[in-house]
C-alpha cells in the first residue's frame, strides 16, 4: 500500500483533473462534430482547435512537472502484469496527449487550412501542403482518437478498481481532495 | 467514497459490476454523441453518399462541383468595404487571389453543356495572414431553405420514381424560383460572362463594432451573350474550360464584387429567398483573373473552398448552410486527398 503523504503533488493533481475534463470534452466534441451538418458543427470545431492547443500546452507542462516530481511508487503487492499495464498505459496516455494535438495541427497545415484560435489569432503551418501527408495524419488523428478514448475508459476502470476493490491507495494518490482512506489514521 | 470504504460487506463482485456499468455508460454516451444510435441524423457521410452520381464515386475529385479549372489573379479593394467590415481584405489595396471555375455536378467528366449551375471558388489572402474563402454559383437563389431540404433534393434527383421531383417540389415550395431560373434563365458560352452569387448570408463587423448582415456577388465585366443549350452542346464537352483558357490568355477578365446589406426583417437564414432589389449595395473591389491552369496540377486542386474560412471582421450568420457546407466539404476533402492516386498529377512527368 501507498503510505500517508505518498500522493502526487497538488500541482500534479490539479493538472490531472483539469486535463481529464479537457480531454473528455475534446473526445466527445471530436466524435460529435464529424457526425453532424448542423450549425453546431462550426461551434464544436471552433472549440476543438483551441482546446487541442490548450491540451498540448498543459501536457508539455505536465510532462516537465512529472519529470521533476516523479510519481508515488505503485503498491509492492500489485501483480507484475498490472504494474506493467499501468506503466505502459501511462506512456501511451502521455504520447496521445502530446501527439493528438500535433497530429491535428499538422493535418490542418497539410490541408492548407488556417489554424484559428479564439479571437481570430492563428497559428503558423507546421507542415507543407500535401495530400499524402494530410491523409496519413488525418487517418492517425481519427483512429487514435478511438484508441485514446478506449485508453481513457481503461484508465477509469483501473482507477475505480484500485478505489473500490484493491483499496490500495493508488486512487487516493491522485484524488482531487484527501479521501477517507487517507484521513482514517487521524480518526 | 467514504461509504464504500466503510462497508467491507460490499462484495468484490458488486464493485466489479459497478465499474462495468460506469465504463459501459461512458462508451454508450460516446457512441450516442457520434450518432451511432441516431440513424436519422444528417451526417456529412450521408450527404456525400447522396451526392454520388450514377457514374460512381468521383475518385480523387470533389464530391460536388467536381469538374473545374484553376485560376490565379488579384483582388483590388477600393476601400468602400471598410464601412461594413474591418477585415483587411476591404482596405484599399491589392491582394492575391486563387480560385476555381466549376460546374455544379458530381461527375468530373460531365459535358459542359449538360450542367445548369456554374460556380466559382475563391480565396483571397491578406498580409495579416488571414484568408477569405468563398464558393459562389450563378443562380440568383438557392433551390432549398435548409440542408435537410438539400438532402431531400439530392434523393429526389437520383430517384428512379418518375414523380420524385414533382413530389419534392410540392413539399418544397421554396424550390419554385430556382426551378424557374433553371428552366427559363439564360445560358452563356463562358465562365467569364457569369455572375457568381454568394447566396448565403454572413455578418460583417465594422471598425465601430456595428454588425451588418450581407450577401455578396461577383458581377462580370464581360457582356453576357445568351446561347441556347443546344448550340452549347455542339461546342464540345469541355468548351467552357477551353474558352476561359483562350480568353484569359488574350487578356485578364474582371468581376466587380458587390456586397448587399440586409434590412432587419430580411430572410437572412434562407438562401432560397432573394432580398428586395432596393437594398443598399456597396461595390467593394474588383477581382481580376490573370491566369488559367488545369486543375490536375493547378494551385486550386488541394484547396477546400470552405465558406467558413473567414477573416476577422466576417463571421457566419443564422444561415444554416455555411456550417453544413463546411462539414461536407471537409468530408469530400478527406476522401479526395486520400484518393490522389486515382487522379494522378502530370507535372512531374511533363517537366523536362
ipTM over 0.90: yes
Average pLDDT over every residue of B95-108: 97
> How far is residue B128's CA from residue B130's CA, in Å, rounded to a whole number?
6
> How far is residue B68's CA from residue B119's CA, in Å, rounded to a whole number?
9
Residues of B with Cβ-Cβ distance to A149 under 8 angstroms: 30
What are the sequence ranges of the domains in chain A? 10-186
pLDDT, residue A118, reads 77
pLDDT, residue A186, reads 40
CB A187 within 8 A of CB A179: no
pLDDT, residue B350, reads 46
Is the per-residue pLDDT at B263 higher than 70?
Answer: yes
SS3 B259: strand
> How far is residue B204's CA from residue B86's CA, in Å, rounded to a whole number?
8
- Render pLDDT for B280-295 as a digit per residue (tens, 0 to 9): 999 999 999 999 999 9
CB B300 within 8 A of CB B349: no
Pair type for strands B67-77 and B211-220? unpaired
SS3 A135: helix
Mean pLDDT, rounded, of chain B: 95
pLDDT, residue B322, reads 98
Q: Which fold has domain B53-350?
A: Catalase HpII,  Chain A, domain 1 (2.40.180)
Residues of A with Cβ-Cβ distance to B130 under 8 angstroms: 114, 120, 122
Best mutation target among B323, B324, B332, B333 (most A Cβ atoms within 10 Å) is: B323
> How far is residue B248's CA from residue B101's CA, in Å, rounded to a whole number?
13
Alpha-carbon dihedral A69, A70, A74, A75, rounded to 10 degrees: -40
A127 at interface of B, judged by CB pairs closer than 8 A = no
Is the per-residue pLDDT at A61 higher than 80?
Answer: yes
Taking one residue from A and the other from B, the number of pairs with CB-CB distance under 8 angstroms is 129
pLDDT, residue B3, reads 46
> How far is residue A70's CA from residue B126's CA, in Å, rounded to a whole number?
47
B17 at interface of A, judged by CB pairs closer than 8 A = no
**Half-sphere exposure in the Cβ direction for A25 (13 Å, CA):** 16
H helix runs in chain B, sequence order: 2-6, 12-33, 44-51, 147-158, 164-171, 175-184, 229-233, 239-250, 321-338, 347-350
Average pLDDT over every residue of B255-272: 97
Q: Is A58 exposed, middle or buried (0-12, 13-18, 19+ CB in 10 A)?
A: middle
Average pLDDT over every residue of B170-199: 97
Average pLDDT over every residue of B35-53: 96
Average pLDDT over every residue of B70-97: 98
CB-CB under 8 Å, B147 with A36: no
In this prediction, residue A122 has a pLDDT band, given cuts at 50, 70 and 90, of: confident
Per-residue DSSP letters for B282-330?
EEEEEEEEEEEEEGGGSTTTT----TT---TTEEE-S-SHHHHHHHHHH
Our CA-based measurement puts residue A73 at a distance from the nearest CA of chain B, in whole angstroms, of 22
CB B287 within 8 A of CB B257: yes
Helix pair angle (B147-158, B44-51), 10° resolution: 30
Our CA-based measurement puts residue B301 at a distance from the nearest CA of chain A, in whole angstroms, of 10
Other Cβ atoms less than 10 A from the Cβ of A180: the count is 15
Based on C-alpha coordinates, what's the Rg of chain B? 24
Average pLDDT over every residue of A151-164: 96
Percent share of chain A, pLDDT over 70: 92
Cross-strand partners of B102: B68, B119
- Residue A85 CB partners (closer than 8 Å, separation 6+): A158
Return the CATH number of the domain spanning residue range A10-186. Answer: 1.20.950.20
Best mutation target among A37, A171, A180 (most B Cβ atoms within 10 Å) is: A37
CB B130 within 8 A of CB B311: yes
Query: Which of A27, A28, A111 has the CB atom closest to B304's CB atom?
Result: A111
pLDDT, residue B192, reads 98
pLDDT, residue B218, reads 98
In this prediction, residue A117 has a pLDDT band, given cuts at 50, 70 and 90, of: confident
B15 at interface of A, judged by CB pairs closer than 8 A = yes
- Render pLDDT for B103-162 as a digit per residue (tens, 0 to 9): 999 999 999 999 999 999 999 999 999 999 999 999 999 999 999 999 999 999 999 999
In this prediction, residue B171 has a pLDDT band, given cuts at 50, 70 and 90, of: very high
CB-CB under 8 Å, B306 with A42: no
CB A19 within 8 A of CB A97: yes
> How far is residue A52's CA from residue A97's CA, in Å, rounded to a whole number?
9
What are the sequence ranges of the domains in chain B? 53-350
Is the per-residue pLDDT at B163 higher than 60?
Answer: yes
> How far is residue B129's CA from residue A126's CA, in Å, rounded to a whole number?
15
Angle at B95 between CA B89 and CA B97, to 5 degrees: 105
pLDDT, residue A184, reads 43
In this prediction, residue B2 has a pLDDT band, given cuts at 50, 70 and 90, of: very low
In this prediction, residue A121 has a pLDDT band, given cuts at 50, 70 and 90, of: confident
Average pLDDT over every residue of A164-179: 89
CB-CB under 8 Å, B338 with A37: no
Query: Which of B41, B326, B340 has the CB atom closest to A35's CB atom?
Result: B41
Other Cβ atoms less than 10 A from the Cβ of A146: the count is 14
Percent share of chain B, pLDDT over 90: 94
Average pLDDT over every residue of A75-80: 94
A window 39-98, beta carbon within 8 A of B: 39-42, 45
Amino acid at each position: 500500500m501507498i503510505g500517508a503523504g505518498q500522493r502526487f503533488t497538488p500541482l500534479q493533481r490539479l493538472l490531472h483533473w483539469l486535463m481529464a475534463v479537457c480531454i473528455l470534452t475534446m473526445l466527445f466534441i471530436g466524435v460529435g462534430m464529424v457526425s453532424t451538418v448542423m450549425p453546431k458543427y462550426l461551434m464544436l470545431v471552433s472549440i476543438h482547435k483551441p482546446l487541442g492547443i490548450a491540451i498540448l500546452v498543459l501536457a508539455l507542462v505536465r510532462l516537465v512537472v512529472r519529470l521533476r516530481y516523479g510519481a508515488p511508487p505503485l503498491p509492492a503487492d500489485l501483480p507484475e502484469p498490472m504494474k506493467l499495464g499501468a506503466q505502459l498505459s501511462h506512456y501511451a496516455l502521455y504520447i496521445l496527449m502530446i501527439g493528438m494535438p500535433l497530429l491535428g495541427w499538422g493535418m490542418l497545415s497539410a490541408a492548407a487550412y488556417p489554424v484559428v484560435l479564439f479571437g481570430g489569432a492563428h497559428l503558423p503551418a507546421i507542415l507543407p501542403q500535401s495530400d499524402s501527408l494530410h491523409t496519413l495524419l488525418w487517418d492517425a488523428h481519427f483512429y487514435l482518437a478511438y484508441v485514446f478514448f478506449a485508453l481513457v475508459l481503461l484508465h477509469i476502470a483501473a482507477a475505480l478498481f484500485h478505489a473500490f476493490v484493491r483499496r490500495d491507495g493508488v486512487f487516493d494518490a491522485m484524488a482531487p481532495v484527501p479521501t477517507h482512506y487517507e484521513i482514517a489514521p487521524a480518526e | 467514497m467514504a461509504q464504500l470504504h466503510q462497508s467491507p460487506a460490499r462484495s468484490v463482485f458488486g464493485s466489479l459490476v459497478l465499474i462495468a456499468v460506469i465504463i459501459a455508460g461512458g462508451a454508450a454516451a460516446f457512441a450516442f454523441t457520434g450518432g451511432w444510435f441516431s440513424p436519422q441524423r444528417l451526417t456529412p457521410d450521408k450527404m456525400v453518399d447522396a451526392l454520388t452520381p450514377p457514374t460512381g464515386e468521383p475518385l480523387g475529385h470533389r464530391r460536388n462541383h467536381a469538374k473545374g479549372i484553376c485560376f490565379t489573379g488579384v483582388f483590388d479593394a477600393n476601400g468602400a468595404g471598410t464601412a461594413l467590415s474591418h477585415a483587411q481584405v476591404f482596405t484599399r489595396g491589392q491582394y492575391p487571389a486563387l480560385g476555381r471555375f466549376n460546374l455544379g455536378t458530381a461527375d468530373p467528366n460531365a459535358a459542359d453543356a449538360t450542367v445548369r449551375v456554374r460556380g466559382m471558388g475563391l480565396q483571397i489572402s491578406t498580409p495579416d495572414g488571414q484568408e477569405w474563402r468563398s464558393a459562389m454559383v450563378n443562380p440568383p437563389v438557392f433551390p432549398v431553405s435548409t440542408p435537410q431540404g438539400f438532402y431531400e433534393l439530392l434523393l429526389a434527383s437520383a430517384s428512379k420514381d418518375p414523380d420524385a421531383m414533382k413530389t419534392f417540389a410540392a413539399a418544397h415550395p421554396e424550390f419554385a424560383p430556382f426551378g424557374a431560373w433553371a428552366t427559363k434563365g439564360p445560358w452563356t458560352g463562358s465562365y467569364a460572362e457569369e455572375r457568381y452569387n454568394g447566396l448565403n448570408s454572413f455578418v460583417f463587423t465594422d471598425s465601430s463594432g456595428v454588425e451588418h448582415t450581407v450577401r455578396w456577388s461577383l458581377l462580370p465585366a464581360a457582356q453576357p451573350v445568351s446561347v441556347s443549350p443546344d448550340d452549347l452542346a455542339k461546342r464540345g464537352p469541355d468548351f467552357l474550360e477551353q474558352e476561359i483558357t483562350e480568353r484569359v490568355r488574350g487578356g485578364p477578365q474582371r468581376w466587380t464584387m458587390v456586397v448587399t446589406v440586409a434590412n432587419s426583417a430580411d430572410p437572412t437564414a434562407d438562401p432560397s429567398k432573394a432580398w428586395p432589389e432596393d437594398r443598399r449595395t456597396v461595390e467593394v473591389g474588383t477581382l481580376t483573373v490573370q491566369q488559367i491552369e488545369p486543375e490536375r496540377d493547378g494551385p486550386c486542386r488541394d484547396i477546400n473552398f470552405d465558406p467558413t474560412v473567414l477573416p476577422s471582421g466576417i463571421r457566419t450568420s443564422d444561415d444554416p448552410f455555411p456550417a453544413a457546407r463546411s462539414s461536407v466539404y471537409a468530408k469530400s476533402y478527406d476522401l479526395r486527398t486520400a484518393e490522389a492516386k486515382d487522379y494522378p498529377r502530370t507535372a512531374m512527368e511533363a517537366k523536362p
